[in-house]
Chain A
Amino acid sequence: QQPVQSPQAVILREGEDAVINCSSSKALYSVHWYRQKHGEAPVFLMILLKGGEQKGHEKISASFNEKKQQSSLYLTASQLSYSGTYFCGTGSYNTDKLIFGTGTRLQVFP
């Protein structure tokens, strides 16, 4: 039951905003967000542990709707360095397992 992300791909100009969504068919305990640049390892962005929690640092923030089993990642005033593939990772109760979503490829152009 892999979480489904939407959209699959986004193309932006520098300074534009984007929203990436992550939906799960299972009850969620936690949602992680990671960014992976081509040829590199995934890098942790943030984790949300409570339904309704919102987090952010600088121009990247996220929300977690536990009832809807969804999370969204908000990227504002995008920079070239935001380019990469974004994965959500969902954790369920009573397990050490993190299941990664289908991924969203984001490209930012000057």
Chain B
Amino acid sequence: DTEVTQTPKHLVMGMTNKKSLKCEQHMGHRAMYWYKQKAKKPPELMFVYSYEKLSINESVPSRFSPECPNSSLLNLHLHALQPEDSALYLCASSQAEVSYEQYFGPGTRLTVT
């Protein structure tokens, strides 16, 4: 099974809401990633978890809060977002770190109103 799943597929939220994005993989991968992608732009790294520990935070605003409850799950908690945070949020996983291929989930299309 080489699948990374993400829920929800679409999310519309107001600036005062709190919501969470979920990502799951069952490939035994030890590295998991959150990316943000705007239209016609490359994916932009937000966070990296390696062996369930946060190893990279790309100076992401605190209104985005990642969590890795176990080796298969990755969450992204959202609070007080801004309209400019509207984007496609992609989760990915890899066997270990950057020398291994990354498998991407289908993404969550987030709209902040």
Binding site for B on A (CB under 8 A): 2, 29-30, 32, 40-44, 47, 49, 87, 89, 91-92, 95-103
Contacts and interface: CB of A to CB of B under 8 A. Distances in A.
Nearest to A100: B42
Interface in B30-79: 31, 33, 40-45, 48, 50, 55-56, 58
Task: State the main secondary structure of chain A at its contact with B.
Answer: loop
**Which range contains the number of B residues in contact with the other chain?**
20 to 34
Contact of B99 (A40, A47, A87): A47
Contacts of A49: 99
B90 interface: yes
Contacts, number: 58
Contact of B42 (A29, A95, A96, A101): A101
Nearest to A99: B45
Contacts of B48: 96-97
**4 closest pairs, A vs B, by CB?**
A91-B98, A100-B42, A41-B104, A96-B97
B98 A96 contact: yes
A45 to B, nearest CB: 9
B7 to A, nearest CB: 14
B99 A97 contact: no
B106 A41 contact: yes
Contacts of B56: 95-97
A6 B56 CA distance: 29
